[in-house]
Amino acid sequence: MGKNTNTPAYLSSDDARYTLGVHRGPLISKNGDEGAQLAHVESAGGLSLETRKLKRSEKFQRHWKRFWCLHLLVTIIFLAIFLPVFFLVIIPAISQLVVNKSDLVLVNASVLNPRPDKIELTLVSALDLKIALPVRIEPITLDLFVRDTGADNAWGQAEIPGKVIKGNTTLGVTNVETPLTNLTTWKEYVYNVVFEKETALSVKGVTNSYLGVLKSKVTMDKNIMSPVLNQFKNFSISDSGLIAAREDGTNLIGNASLPNPSVLTLDIGTIVLDVKSGDLVIGNATLEDVTIKPGDNIFPLTGILDLHTVIENLVTVLASQAQAIKTGNLALDTVTQTVTWNGTLVPYYTDVMKQLTLTANVAIADLVKNTVHNLLSGNETLLDLLDSVGETSTLLGNLTSSDDASDTASSVLSETSDLASKMKTSIAARDMFRGAAPAKRDFIIDSLAKMYTKL
């Protein structure tokens, strides 16, 4: 057998077999991953020269055994930094984000027993945190304010007790006497409630929340949007009619409708209004014990129609009513004089309501019909009222001497007799006067015809 030419000479001699390490096999390479991935495999028959790649778990075990002290030190340093950040920054930030993203909806509110410096407040809102886990909050004091003026100018406060919140939960206060801490801001909020279609009740407060044992401070700073009174749109006066003057001068009655599309219940009190035709004040009206609830609200109206003022300013009145009369109505404007609660002036309601003009279209036919009904119900003294109107034809005739008024007055006079004639032959008119003497009936119709054309 020939000698291996690749074997060094000092290993090919006969004595070389006694050399230590001659059978150790190839050494693991120092260059790169190949040597790092090789391992000896021991067998029962002795040392094997077979090599294989290390598994990932074996490599990890080898690495951990060699550097576990370093990894432990790094882990301790990481936790020392991360845990304070997690509990002091991340958890509160997540809690605050949940509050910020939550919905807060006004479901019930009332302002009762209004006095110049305080109210009785009910405020109930639904809060949906949009998380499945229950969250406990500590009691919270909410500042109530107008967003434009800021929480520093809050008009009042609401003390909300602690509660566990899970899903959609209601929070609020009920019938709590609340001092008005800033009347200027409160008046601005009342103005928004009366004039706007929708407005915001802004609330702000700080409390602690608990998610399990994790505690974090959260700030609730939200706008609770709600529809409001929208200038009492669709305000109307119905069932109006003249009556004989009472001791207090009342000669006008009817019903006033004040719609409320909001969820608010408001104690207002007694409202005294000026009744105007154009810019001319022709009387006043009073609504007593007004409490506005959600939906339609109808209140009895009593008033004084100053017929003398109407007659003396007939041309002005007719000019301001020209368009409304064409549709068979009288356009009466009402402007608040005062608002009182239990005899005490409520300045914030009075100041705001004075800025609102409510216009009611009163059907002339209904006014005449109700006036006649009042007369035929046995109120004989109403004849004196109608007679006073009938006797104004001379005054109306004198107005024709004015160049500015001649056309209008002449037209009114020419229409009076025609209107009276039609009313006398009308079946509806005869039904209204059923049982009345013909002379009395004709007198009333003539007077009403004159009143209709004059008013």
Question: What pLDDT is attached to residue 407?
Answer: 52
Instruction: Report the C-alpha gap between 341 and 334 in whole angstroms.
Output: 20
Amino acid occupying residue 416: T
More confident residue, 437 or 79: 79
Per-chain mean pLDDT for the chain: 77
Rounded mean pLDDT, 11-37: 55
Instruction: Report the C-alpha gap between 323 and 46 in whole angstroms.
Output: 122
Instruction: Determine what percent of the chain is predicted with pLDDT higher than 90.
Output: 36
Question: What pLDDT is attached to residue 379?
Answer: 45
Rounded mean pLDDT, 34-40: 48
Q: Flag whether pLDDT at 6 surpasses 90.
A: no
Q: What is the pLDDT of residues 342-375, one digit of tens each?
A: 999 999 999 999 999 999 988 877 777 777 666 6
Q: Flag whether pLDDT at 390 surpasses 50.
A: no
- Strands in 33-82 per DSSP E: 41-43, 46-48
Instruction: Report the C-alpha gap between 308 and 388 in whole angstroms.
Output: 9
Q: What is the pLDDT of residues 238-272, one digit of tens each?
A: 988 888 788 888 989 999 999 999 999 999 999 99
Running DSSP on this structure, what letter comes out for residue 233?
A: T
Quote the radius of gyration of the chain (alpha carbons, Å).
46
Res. 324 pLDDT band, cuts 50 70 90? confident
Highest mean pLDDT pick, 159-168, 228-237, 403-412? 228-237
Instruction: Report the C-alpha gap between 232 and 442 in whole angstroms.
Output: 41
All residues at 6 or more sequence positions from 143 whose CB lies less than 8 Å from its CB, including other chains: 151, 154, 157, 203, 204, 205
Question: What pLDDT is attached to residue 126?
Answer: 87
Question: What pLDDT is attached to residue 397?
Answer: 44
Instruction: Determine what percent of the chain is predicted with pLDDT higher than 70.
Output: 65
Q: What is the pLDDT of residues 391-400, one digit of tens each?
A: 444 444 444 4
Q: What is the pLDDT of residues 96-149, one digit of tens each?
A: 666 667 778 889 999 999 999 999 999 999 887 777 677 888 899 999 999 999
Res. 35 pLDDT band, cuts 50 70 90? very low
Question: What pLDDT is attached to residue 322?
Answer: 85
Rounded mean pLDDT, 155-178: 89
